[in-house]
Structure 1
Amino acid sequence: MMASPWGKKSRRSYLPVNGLPPLQSCLNKRAIWTLLWWLLLIAEVFIYSSYTILAHLCLVEGKLPFRSSSVVLCTEVLKIVLSIAMLLPELRRGDMTMPSLSNCLLFMVPAVLYCINNNLSVYMQVQMDPTTYQILGNMKVITTAVLYRVIIRRRLTIIQWASLTVLGAAGMFDSYGGMQTKGAWSGEIHLTVSGLIMMCTYCCISGFAGVYTEYILKKHYQTSLHVQNTLLYTFGIVLNGGVWAVQEAGSGKEGGESSGVFDGFTLYTWVIVVTQAFNGLIMSAIMKHGSNITRLFIISCAMLVTTLLSVAIFQLALNMYYVLAFVLVIVALYMYHR
């Protein structure tokens, strides 16, 4: 079940609004927040599904024309700008509580994990088609569920564990089918061995990062989400700036020409930066006021949207292994969320 988006209940009594009785006013506010919450979730489904499509539109002769660290660094900068902008009203009201130094340092762990994964996700686009990227990304369900059980002590039913087994089988079918297609992607399902290894690593890190981030966000629930995001993205800028500097130095040693942060950027690249910035902000809100289960539900829905976009934009040809994997994923998701 999806958690309430309002977090802890407020003890403040509601005053009449526009002549409405207090109870009716409270119900109207709750209905508005519920509607906004669902609109946020729907928007996140489309934002999440757009990433791999946009990344493939950026490819030039099968290669990315920009450095992964450049895109991630620009995204982190935009995230912190948006977080500070949303934090300013709280600063003016003076109702903001600053966390202690030890609590601030907790955000360094997810920042490192997200730094690794954000760069991995860029390179993975060359190793597989958009739909395979989304369907294999559902392995996050397995890693997240296991880590929920280990770290947050969240119990799963027998049916839910069975659904994870079905999901694992779906991943194997999709992987086998993807390896049958040789050569660079040209509108067909494809997956390389390197891409499969990268995806497994990505899903393990993603599961731990998601569970750990939810834990620290909710551990200090009264701390403003914008303050927590600002801390997380500050570490992210430092780490990704370091990755970019290392890549730049390595390029110089190999005799390559020095390039700027925006080298190879196109309109599609900037759309990726903007959408991924909002993706990070929305996911933080979901993990603070919802849960990682809500996040997995979004990822699964995004897979369906990505498939439709891939067929429409890239004339994606689906093979029988993918169709079987797709059906198994739907069955697994139904079993897990029923």
Structure 2
Amino acid sequence: MDDVDGVNSTAQKSLMIALFFLILQAFLSSFASIVNEFVFKKNYEESIHLQNSLFYVWGIVINIVCGLILHGTIPNVFKFLKNLNVLTVSIVLTNAIGGLSAASLLKYLSSLTKSYCAVVGMFISTFLSGIFFNTPIPFFFLVGAVLISVAIVIYTKSSQKNKEQNNQSKSRNELKTLKRI
């Protein structure tokens, strides 16, 4: 019995650690998205390409520092070039285009819209892989897709309602200003 309790205790600890890191990752991802949106909107006049380049430079600097701290040397970043082929280049280009579109979303819309777009992209790629590669789509994934779809509809309707209310209040304020004149 002691072995079973020890295994259960270890499993519970592992589950708690996994949940902690899952929540930490979700928090850091959300926080990073909000910070990115803040930076893009704060420097609205600057080009998205310049802002993205600065983000990438900071990413390179942070990776070099982490490499120095963890390994004592700068990792050889050119190892990946030996496996370079058309598929690799297409993946890099696709992700670069995705990064530019995410930057545009953050600059002109909100981080919530970007998150919804990422989720929709994940659903589309999963359904396409199910069609083209006969990959089974789990039931709970379909449940998640339905829930996210409902959330998108609710968010879109509330955004439209808020815009209409803002437009009506602006119109009322303009009418009051005109009446005063």
Q: TM-score range by the shorter chain?
A: 0.5 to 0.7
TM-score (norm 1): 0.35
Amino acid at match of 1:330: S
Question: How many angstroms apart in 2 are the aligned matches of 1:264 and 1:293?
Answer: 36
The residue that corresponds to 1:307 in the other structure is 126
Question: How many angstroms apart in 1 are the aligned matches of 2:113 and 2:143?
Answer: 25
Q: Are the structure 2 counterparts of residues 322 and 304 from structure 1 closer, same or farther at C-alpha, using a change threshold of 3 Å?
A: closer
Question: How many angstroms apart in 1 are the aligned matches of 2:102 and 2:65?
Answer: 24
Q: Is the 8 A contact 2:105 2:113 kept in 1?
A: yes
TM-score (norm 2): 0.60
1:236 maps onto 2:63 in alignment: no
Aligned residues with identical type, % of pairs = 27
Cα shift at 1:311: 0.3
RMSD: 3.5
Q: Which structure would you say has the larger Rg?
A: 2
Higher helix share: 2
The residue that corresponds to 1:282 in the other structure is 101
The residue that corresponds to 2:117 in the other structure is 298
Counting only pairs closer than 5 Å after superposition, residues 113-262 of structure 1 correspond to structure 2 as 200-243=23-66, 260-262=79-81
Q: Deviations over 1:75-121 (max 9, x none)?
A: xxxxxxxxxxxxxxxxxxxxxxxxxxxxxxxxxxxxxxxxxxxxxxx
Question: How many angstroms apart in 2 are the aligned matches of 1:248 and 1:200?
Answer: 30
Q: Which structure 1 residue ranges, 5 or more long, are not aligned?
A: 1-192, 252-258
Number of aligned residue pairs: 141
Q: Are the structure 2 counterparts of residues 233 and 322 from structure 1 closer, same or farther at C-alpha, using a change threshold of 3 Å?
A: closer
Question: How many angstroms apart in 1 are the aligned matches of 2:18 and 2:87?
Answer: 23
Q: Which has the higher contact order (CA 8 A, sep 6+)?
A: 1
Q: Secondary structure at the match of 1:262?
A: helix
Q: Deviations over 1:124-164 (max 9, x none)?
A: xxxxxxxxxxxxxxxxxxxxxxxxxxxxxxxxxxxxxxxxx
The residue that corresponds to 1:330 in the other structure is 149
Q: Are the structure 2 counterparts of residues 279 and 228 from structure 1 closer, same or farther at C-alpha, using a change threshold of 3 Å?
A: same
The residue that corresponds to 1:80 in the other structure is none
Question: How many angstroms apart in 2 are the aligned matches of 1:265 and 1:280?
Answer: 21
Question: How many angstroms apart in 1 are the aligned matches of 2:24 and 2:81?
Answer: 28
Question: How many angstroms apart in 1 are the aligned matches of 2:145 and 2:111?
Answer: 22
Q: Are the structure 2 counterparts of residues 298 and 228 from structure 1 closer, same or farther at C-alpha, using a change threshold of 3 Å?
A: same
Q: Deviations over 1:172-223 (max 9, x none)?
A: xxxxxxxxxxxxxxxxxxxxx7987765443322211111111122123223
Q: Secondary structure at the match of 1:223?
A: coil
